[in-house]
Amino acid sequence: MRMWFLSNPPGKATIEVHNIDEFTWLNDSSSLLLKQLGSQSMIDYYFTAQSANSDSYLKYRNPKYLSMLNHLRFYLPEIYPKLDKMVFLDGDVVVRKDITGLWSIDMKGKVNGAVETCGESFHSFDRYLNFSSPVVAKNFDPNACVWAFGMNMFDLAEWRRQNITEIYHFWQKLNEDGSLRKLGTLPLGLVTFWNKTFPLDRSWHVLGLGYNPHVSSGDLERAAVIHYNGNMKPWLEIGLPKFRSYWSEYLDYDQPFLRECNINP
């Protein structure tokens, strides 16, 4: 990554590439996930032979569910202790318009600014959380609107003041047996940032380019950030052809790195 940015200077932007091993503060004491990953109960939950007999259980072995890299988003104030505000972008997005306007949005004391995914393809909390659990039913609304990870405005000062990372730890610990929510960081984000999320205008972040061929061209043209969430990434052969150009137009095929990756425009 460092070599890439040395070979492709990003104009006036400052680039910092971090290695997770450099985060010396990230250990069994500071991160509940790291502690859980070393526990016998977690090892049994993911790797015991009897559990693997179920076809549906195979999805639990996807490395992303065990990856600390995915959970680092819940430690942003620790990673950037001198910052009070930041825009978070996933690696499978394309920024198509100036997003500096996000900086001036008044989030009214909320910690997370995000685009809600309600609408034609309605997503509500009951799709991600287990409301047969009393603790879930007591604390959340099954009809509440889900929001999107991938392009988020975070008020890190409020995050620290409201001790959001400890809320994350609380729900992570409570779900050690995997019974409260679906897999992934979005359900965990929904409970962590419950009542702490400010809805952004949907033009800031358009999703679905990795699974939904019906995303409208109008929405794409208005979007500041487009997101290839889903399995059909534009750099894969299974990528949706109608959306691939929005990503490939930014690639320089004179770069030997890209040619070696065998990416087809």
pLDDT of residue 138: 95
Q: What is the pTM (predicted TM-score) of this model?
A: 0.85
pLDDT band of residue 48 (cuts 50, 70, 90) is low
Instruction: Map out the domains of the chain with their CATH numbers.
Output: 1-261 (3.90.550)
Average pLDDT for 241-264: 83
Given a cut of 70, whether residue 253 has pLDDT beyond it is yes
pLDDT band of residue 257 (cuts 50, 70, 90) is confident
**What is the Cα–Cα distance from 167 to 75, expressed in whole angstroms?**
12
83-139 pLDDT, tens per residue?
Answer: 999 999 999 999 999 999 999 999 999 999 999 988 655 588 998 999 999 999 999
Return the percentage of the chain with pLDDT > 70, whole number: 81
